[in-house]
Amino acid sequence: MLWWPLSREHATLGLALVDVKHQRRGFGQQLIDAVLQETGTRRVALNATAAGMRLYERNGFQTVGTIHQHQGHPTSLAGRLAKQSAERIQFPVPLEAILELDQITTSQDRRELIRALHTSGETIGIRRGDSIVGYSICRPFGLGRVVGPVAAASSADAKLLIDFWLDKHRLEFLRVDTSLAGGLSPWLDDAGLIQVGTAATMELGSADQLGQSNTSLSASSRLFALSSQALG
């Protein structure tokens, strides 16, 4: 089991693995006890499979959302949105603008994470006037590439930020982890990235903290896709 200290206030937890031969012996509980001792007072978020939900619920985690995992090879529909609105896409994007937008969007200080993703992948932004109002990162991952995070002011902007990568990497295997609330799943299915799984977004924190990253967003931006299910 791994965890990542995004800041003094926030952490994510993921990659919880117990050998099938040793399950139901309390090892999962021992792992989470050790992790929560290290995370301290941080608000901890994770994306749980059905197999792990009971363990997390027993330890006080509450479900605050649902993630849909989409993956596959883009269809011929890929790239239409990006070509129609090419003038709105900015590349390269000033890193400081991305860091500021991500903090506004998530209510979290994720500067180290976003810097690392920016370095390992490619980043584009969406302009409105002189301002960057959305961004997405695409990087090597698993069998191909993952698109995320994706932060945007609307689902239309989010589709544009994803469609750019579907077009650029149309011959590669792509993955997007998107929130159910974002409403992008039907569009991603049509674009060739089929939904293959779900995960429950869960958080551990005080009552006023729970769901903060989903309900306390700036009115001008929201997170439509994760960097990964482990990192958020």
Domain boundaries, position 38: 2-63
- Which of the four pLDDT bands, split at 50, 70 and 90, describes residue 7? confident
Q: Are residues 112 and 183 in the same domain?
A: yes
Q: What is the CATH number of the domain that holds 190?
A: 3.40.630.90
Evaluate if residue 142 carries a pLDDT over 80. yes
Q: Are residues 39 and 142 in the same domain?
A: no
Q: Are residues 39 and 134 in the same domain?
A: no
Interacting residues of 88 by C-beta distance below 8 A, sequence separation 6+: 126, 127, 128, 160
Q: Are residues 194 and 90 in the same domain?
A: yes
- Which of the four pLDDT bands, split at 50, 70 and 90, describes residue 206? low
Evaluate if residue 24 carries a pLDDT over 80. no
- Range in 19-28, 84-93, 164-173, 175-184 with the lowest mean pLDDT: 19-28
Number of domains in the chain: 2
Helix (H) or strand (E) holding 53, with range, is helix 50-58
- Interstrand relation of 222-225 and 144-152 (parallel, antiparallel or unpaired): antiparallel
Output the pLDDT for position 208. 52
Question: For the residues 128-134, what does the mean pLDDT come to?
Answer: 90
**Residue-averaged pLDDT of the chain:** 90
